[in-house]
Amino acid sequence: MVNVHCLNNIATIGLDLFSDDYNTKSSFEDAQAILVRSAKMHDMELSDNLLAIARAGAGVNNIPLDKCADAGIVVFNTPGANANAVKEHVIAAMLLASRDILGGNQWVQENKEDADIAKSAEKAKKAFAGQEIKGKKLGVIGLGAIGQLVANAAIALGMEVYGYDPYLSVNAAWNLSSKVKHIVNVEDIYKECNYITIHVPAMDSTKGMVNKEAFDIMQDGTVIINCARDVLVDETAIKEAIASGKVKKYVTDFPNATTAGMEGAIVIPHLGASTEEAEDNCAVMAVKQIVDYIENGNIINSVNYPNCDMGTCKTAGRVAVCHKNVPAVISKITSVMGDEGINIEEMSNKSRGDYAYSMLDISEPASDSVVDKLSAIDGVIKVRVVV
Ligand code: MLT
């Protein structure tokens, strides 16, 4: 039985994919696999039983990735599974920043007892007039699964779109409308665009990336949309930029002590991916990735280990080894097999930063002694007999 613990609600359509060999009601301590959405895991004690964590969503800033990698725990996310939901949310954010629909709705609520509200509305409405987004310039910073959908949708809505992504994948480039202007210096987005939306992960290198220097070169009245993570925008600087008129509206999906009451901000309670469809898609993708890892050792969409996919095992045994990305580990692994008279039929080794992963399909199932010898190799973190 494989023990699974859900730290947050995970859509049933995903959990139903687990066979009877999985117990999805396990305690956290006994779990071999964890499914999580937004629960903060940085201060949690991770048990030695734990093999994998799957984040049903894109952002993984709630998970201690290096601590997990050091313990041989593979962390997965579900890139693209909620991208359409976030895209629609960003388009809604742009429209809310352009037309005072929220102000107008508030006026109706305040005047709901007025028997003549239909007439009064015609007089009041001029206070809530706005602008169209057609013909305006939108800058998209980060053209991953979400950014590219936002860029293409904005083109379809008649906007002029500037796209910036120094790490653009070939796949993303293929999916991007040829009408999106390729921007090499992010400063050009800040200088040129009326609307700017951010779609990059929260990392040390991206924290506070939209800062005072960026606001200083923007046009007056720029709209900033942040459905990625609050830490990407310097909130002290944006408050000042709103006060000075550089920023007309800050639409953020992240309420916190600074943004919640911020004048000129539209603050939404992290609803970007909160659609039935996105929650289902993320749950299905997360569960499939966990099952493939547990049953086959394959790693697909990990954020702390390299991807490694050898399909299903067709030999008598398969061993998976999480290890440090340092010289001589692979030769020592193959020596152990040779010394034990085991033939390696197929092997894959992949690395990512400081960590690496090796899978070996072998001529006989690995014995306890093979596992002990592999585990004793300097740099080996975790050895698992998959088959
Ligand atoms: C994500 O990271 O996938 C989105 O922000 C939505 C979420 O956190 O669930």
Supply the pLDDT for residue 135.
Answer: 98
Closest CA to 232 of 224, 243, 240: 224
Q: How many CB atoms lie within 10 A of CB 272?
A: 25
Q: Which two tokens stand for residue 69?
A: 């990698």
Residue 310 near residue 348, CB atoms below 8 Å: yes
Nearest-atom number in ligand 1 for the CA of 273 is 6
What mean pLDDT is reported for the chain?
97
For residue 230, give the 3-state DSSP assignment.
helix
Residues with Cβ within 8 Å of residue 113, at least 6 apart in sequence: none
Nearest-atom number in ligand 1 for the CA of 58 is 3
CA of 123 to the centre of ligand 1 (A): 41
Q: For the chain, what is the radius of gyration of the CA atoms? A: 25
Q: Which two tokens stand for residue 240?
A: 């000042």
| Tokens 């796209």 sit on residue | 163
Residue whose CA is at the smallest distance from ligand 1 atom 2: 59
Separation of alpha carbons 114 and 176, rounded Å: 50
User: 94 φ, ψ to 5°?
Assistant: -65, -40
CA of 59 to the centre of ligand 1 (A): 6
Residue 172 pLDDT grade (very low, low, confident, very high; cuts 50, 70, 90): confident
CA of 77 to the centre of ligand 1 (A): 10
Residue 107, CA atoms < 13 Å, CB-side half-sphere: 16
For a ligand 1 pocket test, name from 226, 270, 303 the mutation site with the most ligand atoms within 8 angstroms of its C-beta. Answer: 270
Separation of alpha carbons 191 and 139, rounded Å: 10
Residue 33 pLDDT grade (very low, low, confident, very high; cuts 50, 70, 90): very high
CA of 58 to the centre of ligand 1 (A): 5
Q: Please compute the mean of the pLDDT values over residues 32-58 and round it to a whole number.
A: 97
Residue whose CA is at the smallest distance from ligand 1 atom 9: 57
Q: Which two tokens stand for residue 89?
A: 């949310």
Nearest-atom number in ligand 1 for the CA of 272 is 6
Q: For 9-23, write each residue's pLDDT tens digit.
A: 999 999 999 999 999
Any idea what DSSP says for residue 253? Answer: S
CA of 337 to the centre of ligand 1 (A): 43
- Decide if pLDDT at 171 tops 90: no
Find out whether the beta carbon of 201 lies less than 6 Å from any atom of ligand 1: no
Supply the pLDDT for residue 380.
Answer: 98
Q: Which two tokens stand for residue 28?
A: 């956290």
CA of 79 to the centre of ligand 1 (A): 10
Largest CA distance in the chain: 91
Any idea what DSSP says for residue 234? Answer: -
| Tokens 């289902």 sit on residue | 280
Supply the pLDDT for residue 58.
Answer: 95
User: 283 φ, ψ to 5°?
Assistant: -65, -45
Find out whether the beta carbon of 137 lies less than 6 Å from any atom of ligand 1: no
Supply the pLDDT for residue 224.
Answer: 98
For a ligand 1 pocket test, name from 82, 146, 229, 274 the mutation site with the most ligand atoms within 8 angstroms of its C-beta. Answer: 82
CA of 172 to the centre of ligand 1 (A): 20
Q: For 134-149, write each residue's pLDDT tens digit.
A: 999 999 999 999 999 9
- DSSP H or E run through 371: helix 368-375
Q: Please compute the mean of the pLDDT values over residues 26-42 and round it to a whole number.
A: 97
